[in-house]
Structure 1
Amino acid sequence: MSTSYYQYRPTGSLPVGVPIKPSQQPFNPGHTRNLSAYSQLSASPPERPESVSTSGAGLYSAASSSYAGSESEASMTGATSVDLLDYMNDRLSQAYNPIPLDQSLAKQAQMSGELNAKTRELAALQTQARARLAKTRANFAEGMKAAKDVQQDLEWTQKKVHALNARAARKYPEQYRAASERYPAPVDC
């Protein structure tokens, strides 16, 4: 069984190269970054504890001494070792700008407050409209009752007038005819 190990040799470039089309401009973010710091970064493979072995034969421990040599070799060339998690965390914290999010949250809270105020105002106006509608219905019902009472009174009065006219026409026919000619009855439409 042969032992194999990975030896890292820094190349002096970014950790991951992204090809750029010749007609395409490179990405220019809204805020400035220290690009010279990225040119000095290099990543080393993750280190395993010595208790971990690949096939139970302790191959990693044999490779760790060679790996340590490559680490010292990398430090002699000027490249530094960077923890990938720290590197990604730093990149994310530099790329993330919380100010627009804070502003949008403030606007959202303000709009929510305005919406709640308008909702309360609308509920108050609906309650007021319901009270007015109930009062209007009560007034309408009272007016309808008064109109029916007036109509009944008018019908009773008209019946009485017709009865009096008929009695006067029977009892005093000549005077009734003369009065009718002098004061004709109004024509109903």
Structure 2
Amino acid sequence: MSSSYYSFPSAPVNVPTKGGYYTPPQNAAYSRMSVSPPEAPHSGTTSGVASYEPSAASSSYAGSASDYESSQTSAGVDLLDYMGDRLSGAFDPLPLDRSLAKQAQTSGQLNAKTRQLMELQALAKARLTATRANFADGMKAAKEVQQDLQWTQKRVTALNQRAARKYPEHYKTASQQYPVPADDF
């Protein structure tokens, strides 16, 4: 198995491949840990943990979390910043921002069209109400005109009958000269 390296500004960090086993690097110039452990002050304790002086015989290092934090900053590698930079480089928020802007624009247009449609519906209802009122007035006027015509027709028929009885010769000549239209009742 081969191991891959990610190079940082100060030192490489081993990242094992999928095998799950650690394989030492091929280059002997690098050790397991690329930074040396911090030296504890000679006062005896730091943060409640007894100081630890690594011996030359010991090849492993076990220290407190604060020791690891100080080793990271002393090497110039801040993993949170590094991962944040990697994430910000991998994630491009521009398409998301564009889609949110387009969604907001579409929503605004839809709301405007909905308001316009509601206004047009209210206008159509008002016009329909006015048209119904005009139609009712027109029907009332038509019935009145029909009644007036029927009354006038009865009156004209009565006058013609009286004229025919009173002046039969003149009525006969006038009716021949002015015949009654065919569509008359």
| 1:13 paired residue among 4, 18, 22 | 4
User: CA separation in 2, counterparts of 1:146 and 1:110?
Assistant: 53
AA aligned opposite 1:110: Q
Q: Secondary structure at the match of 2:4?
A: coil
The Cα offsets for residues 130-167 of structure 1, whole Å up to 9 and x where unpaired, read as 11111011011101110111011001110111111112
Match in the other structure for 2:171: 176
Alignment of 1:56-95 (within 5 A): 73-75=31-33, 91-95=86-90
| 1:113 paired residue among 79, 86, 108 | 108
* Uncovered stretches (5+) of structure 2, i.e. residues with no partner: 17-29, 36-71
Q: Secondary structure at the match of 2:14?
A: strand
Q: 4+ runs of 1 displaced by more than 2 Å?
A: 40-44, 84-94
Identity among equivalent positions (%) equals: 62
TM-score normalised per structure 2: 0.58
How large is the Cα RMSD of the aligned pairs?
A: 3.7
* Uncovered stretches (5+) of structure 1, i.e. residues with no partner: 1-9, 15-34, 45-71
User: CA separation in 1, counterparts of 2:15 and 2:81?
Assistant: 11
Match in the other structure for 2:158: 163
User: CA separation in 1, counterparts of 2:176 and 2:170?
Assistant: 10
AA aligned opposite 2:151: W
Q: Secondary structure at the match of 1:74?
A: coil
Distance change (3 Å), C-alpha of 1:167 and 1:99: same
AA aligned opposite 2:171: Y
Distance change (3 Å), C-alpha of 1:103 and 1:76: closer
- Count the aligned residue pairs: 131
State yes or no: 1:42 paired with 2:21.
Answer: no
User: CA separation in 2, counterparts of 1:42 and 1:141?
Assistant: 93
TM-score normalised per structure 1: 0.56
Higher RCO (CA < 8 A, seq sep 6+): 1
